[in-house]
Chain A
Amino acid sequence: MYHYNDFDTQAVRDRVDQFRAQVDRRISGALTEDEFKPLRLMNGLYLQLHAYMLRVAIPYGTLNGRQMRQLAMIGDRWDRGYGHFTTRQNIQFNWPKLKDVPDMLDALADVGMHAIQTSGNTIRNVTSDQFAGAAADELMDPRPVAELLRQWSTDHPEFQYLPRKFKIAVTGSPNDRAVTKAHDIGLRMVEQDGATGVEVIIGGGLGRTPMIGQVVRDFLALEDLLPYVEAIVSVYNQLGRRDNKYKARIKITVHENGLDTMRDLIEARFAEIKPGFTGIDQDVLADITAQFAAPTWVTSDTAAFDAAYATNPVFRSWCDTNLTDHKNPDYAIVTVSVKKHGAVPGDATGDQMRALADIAEDFAHDELRISHSQNVVLPHVPKAHLFKVWQALRDADLATANIGLVSDIIACPGMDYCALATARSIPVAQQISSRFEDLKAEHDIGPLQIKISGCINACGHHHVAHIGILGLDRAGVESYQITLGGDATESAAIGQRAGPGFSADEIVPAIERLVMGFLDLKETPDEDFLTAYRRLGAKPFQDLLYPKDRTAA
């Protein structure tokens, strides 16, 4: 993985020193809140309902053990002993004190991390496939490109005051696990005539106007990537609307101007700036790529794993649910559920983070990932170590076997923390998760993605959920709308609203009716919810949600 060079280290340290002085000036009264607010937001510091919140970037979701251990220390020392993994591969600390934040940023800098550009109208944390470098279906590791984009976009002087925030996702696999089509720019590695390049997608996004991104270039040579991305952002910076916050994202720019016009402008800008890229970006990329070399694979006897798998049903269930094929058949990718039944999705305690760091260092080539689904991934685990890894996870209360199932719910912080939210998300997720654990039905239900957002901004990605839940305020009362048939993968689709909303008391029983009723709609035991929905259409699912004897909320 990438390690900061002297330039990176100095830049981050300088930024912490600047912010420390800004905090001192705010506390002394030399800066007003109006003057201080943009400065703190540039450093990822929000003021939420109950407290400040520090959002820390985990670039393309990659961490090593030392970094995870430092996050645990930060949570224990300056927060309430935990951190919250988000849907954009960040971690949020919900309870910092203002005077402590510069020390927290210094502690991050100690391990090559920062909170720069985790807020504001800038290019945000570049996200990627949580299985990058490990997936059996991967064409190319997307992380070197993501790191190049991180370096290019960090403090880029032209792009600090964009019309609105700007999100980029990169995947190296045809099976899209990075939700690239719901990003301002989505980059997908593709092959053409034996060469690997990039398919460039623009104009995706969720929020109040959800749109699936469109392909603006079906094949771009890798050496053209940086000037082409710069051309896109440059065109958006000029054309994007600054008169209306709700129409300022690039998805609206593409929608209002049309894809062909955007393509023409981008290509013209690309031709204009490409000569300025004299190859230094490729030198940097080559250096970065070398740092993402695969670990030295080990071959070991899998007899212990085979024996445990054959004789221990709990371990077997976890393997069947939480493991993914690795490109090396002697290895597995482990997804660690941070979604114990009834727990807050994405919350990990300091002890759990330390346990994960230990496991990564002892058994998994010292690599960890954070997924956009708010789980933690050990990307390189020799199969011979799987039983020990599972035992260690079990000891840390992290061995829930529910990846991809009904209780593996994405949820934004909602009105329990977020100043923008209009309804709670977390308690709804907790109750659904607990209910289906009580029913012991989730393995029979099969793959199912429930995603919950506590407001129209859609941080919980509800639009691309198989079952999406959107919490709104209706005359001072929480109301939850359900959408059906969304898809976050390469076949991305926006879910369709099912009907009238449900009250906070009604939403969990409604989801239970829908999901348990789906069991009777399955064509075969293996048919999953989304496949059945596409086969049958919305009607039978709406009938489950809105039985004739129900009174609408």
Chain B
Amino acid sequence: MAKSEHNVISGNDLLGGHVVYWTAQETWSADMGQAVVLSAQDAANELNLANTTQNETVGAEINPVDASSAIPKPTKRRDAIRLNGPSPEVMVFLPDTAPAAIAAE
């Protein structure tokens, strides 16, 4: 079970492979802004539901987030890279140009 107070559920789209997030409407979206933020207990329960959609999405997992702003921010580097793309594409090492989710770490 997730330990974080705030969490989202992510997976990979079956057809495209891209990262998608579980929404409050119990669907998947590529937009983190649509992700539903869940407590640890709720995330565990919702994960079971999310896993029933394996013909849409593969590898559903719980990711901790910082929910203090309108769009949740991943708190783990790996999850931030999944959200924003590989470093060579987003210049993660350069704080001035890094996407907000990474620069805030």
Contacts and interface: CB of A to CB of B under 8 A. Distances in A.
Given A33-B58, A97-B16, A431-B93, A49 B88 contact: no
A112 to B, nearest CB: 27
B98 to A, nearest CB: 11
Interface in A48-91: 48-52
Given A424-B92, A476-B76, A478-B77, A98 B17 contact: yes
Chain A's interface size range is 20 to 34
Nearest to B51: A33
Contact of B16 (A51, A417, A427, A476): A51
B64 to A, nearest CB: 9
Interface stretch (B21-29, B33-41, B65-73, B78-86): B78-86
Nearest to B59: A47
Interface string A458-478: 000000000000000000111
Contacts of B85: 50
A128 B47 CA distance: 46
Nearest to B78: A415
Contact of B15 (A33, A98, A477): A98
Nearest to A96: B17
A504 B93 contact: yes
A294 interface: no
Interface in A418-439: 421, 424, 426-427, 430-431
B9 interface: no
Contacts of A421: 78
Interface residues of B, number: 23
A276 interface: no
Nearest to B55: A29
Contacts of B92: 424, 427
A167 B18 CA distance: 31
A434 to B, nearest CB: 10
Interface string A373-408: 000000000000000000000000000000000000
A411 to B, nearest CB: 11
B87 to A, nearest CB: 4
B12 A47 contact: yes
Contacts of B15: 27, 97-99
A430 B55 contact: no
B16 A415 contact: no
B2 interface: no
A424 B58 CA distance: 24
B17 A416 contact: no
B32 interface: no
A426 B54 CA distance: 32
Nearest to B92: A427
Contact of B88 (A29, A344, A476): A344
B88 A427 contact: yes
A417 B18 contact: no
Contact of A415 (B18, B19, B77): B77
Nearest to B16: A97
Contacts of B77: 415, 424, 476-478
Nearest to B84: A50
A32 interface: yes
B17 A426 contact: no
B82 A430 contact: no
A32 B54 contact: yes
A76 B85 CA distance: 19
B87 A52 contact: no
B44 interface: no
A415 B81 contact: yes
A97 B77 CA distance: 25
B14 interface: yes
A98 B16 CA distance: 6
Contacts of B93: 427, 431, 504
Interface of B: 12, 14-19, 54-55, 58-59, 75-78, 81-82, 85-88, 92-93
